[in-house]
Amino acid sequence: MGRSPCCSHDAGVKKGPWTEEEDKTLVEHIQKRGGNVGSWRGLPKAAGLNRCGKSCRLRWTNYLRPDIKRGNFSDEEERLIITLHAGLGNKWATIATHLEGRTDNEIKNYWNTHIRKKLLRMGVDPVTHQQLPPDQSHHHLNATSIAHHPGALLWAAAAASLGSLDTGALMQAQLLQQLLQAIGSNNGTSGLIANLAAANTMLNSSGSMIPNLLLDQMNCLQPGYLCNTSNFAEQHVVQQQLTNDASPGTSSFAAAEQADQLCNTTASFASHDVASAGDWSPAQEFAGLLEPMMEVPDLCSLESDSFWKDILDDSYLL
């Protein structure tokens, strides 16, 4: 379908920043037509502007449109962008449809200048949304750092609590990996519980919620269960079915891969000195800590919400 000639190649067409006069001309022209632009290509001539149609469209959609929301992004908007990005990737236009008054360009800029850096500081890969390896991470989370810097954990749980199934699966796996690391460390039981308590406090204060599925997974972490990785894998088959089909290149597939990785981690832990854990069950301890804040969402029920249904549909199409 051959590439169309770009009108920006037209000789004598003005480029660069728009003047107030040009803005006024463009706005008046569009308003005169009741907001109906018609052909963008034909607009500059009709409006008397020495600009290409693309430039006019961009100026209108990103700056002059009356429904544009100005000002800083709220925490809620930021959290939504992160969650949507985890499921959709750099689909800025799709993400923008879920943030009223925000343009794709604005969100893209905000991502690149603020969120991306913030995630890197937290040791989270802004592309995959997974934890960076220690040598690439500015702030790698380990058992001891969870207690002092639970930001990544908080973020993961917040993303999960917002309910995208694929994202939830990924985040749960990521969070569980952190917990496995904590369990596998030599900090002793009291140290681990202190870390979990600190994380729990943070989660409580943010109003985030821990999905049931995660607690179920935690309950699988009893020493005896750890020796049977096939049971653990089975858990993730169920989880994978929940997240629909998993084919290469989809986020479901990534979640499945993450689950496989998780099984390996589990098996690795099981081969260590599990006996030293005695009768102590980290899952029970953790579940106990969470008990007072069990306003757990049913992830599946969120599919009835049209907002999330759209997101899920989009992510399955990827």
Which residues of this protein are in contact with DNA, per CB under 7 A?
1-6, 8, 14-18, 38-41, 51, 53-55, 57-59, 61-63, 90-94, 104-106, 108-110, 112-114, 117
Whichever of 54 and 285 has its CB closer to DNA, that residue is 54
3-state secondary structure (DSSP) of residue 124: strand
Count CB-CB contacts under 10 A for residue 57.
Answer: 16
Compute CA distances 151 → 121, 198, 227, 298, whole Å.
10, 11, 31, 24
Whichever of 59 and 149 has its CB closer to DNA, that residue is 59
What's the CA gap between 23 and 255, in Å, rounded? 47
Smallest separation, CB 260 to DNA (Å): 27
Structure tokens at 237: 């088959």
Largest CA distance in the chain: 81
Whichever of 58 and 289 has its CB closer to DNA, that residue is 58
Check residue 3 and report its DSSP letter.
P
Whichever of 94 and 235 has its CB closer to DNA, that residue is 94
Smallest separation, CB 100 to DNA (Å): 16
Q: Are 68 and 59 in contact (CB under 8 A)?
A: no
What's the CA gap between 71 and 165, in Å, rounded? 31
Smallest separation, CB 178 to DNA (Å): 28
Whichever of 111 and 286 has its CB closer to DNA, that residue is 111
Beta strands in 55-137 (DSSP E): none
∠ CA 161-164-168, rounded to 5°? 60
Smallest separation, CB 118 to DNA (Å): 10
Whichever of 26 and 160 has its CB closer to DNA, that residue is 26
Smallest separation, CB 7 to DNA (Å): 8
One DSSP character per residue, 136-205 reads T-SS---HHHHHH-THHHHHHHHHHHTT-HHHHHHHHHHHHHHHHHHHHSSSHHHHHHHHHHHHHHHHHH
Smallest separation, CB 147 to DNA (Å): 29
Task: Single out the residue of 164, 195, 205 nearest to residue 79, CA to CA.
Answer: 164
Whichever of 45 and 148 has its CB closer to DNA, that residue is 45
Smallest separation, CB 305 to DNA (Å): 22
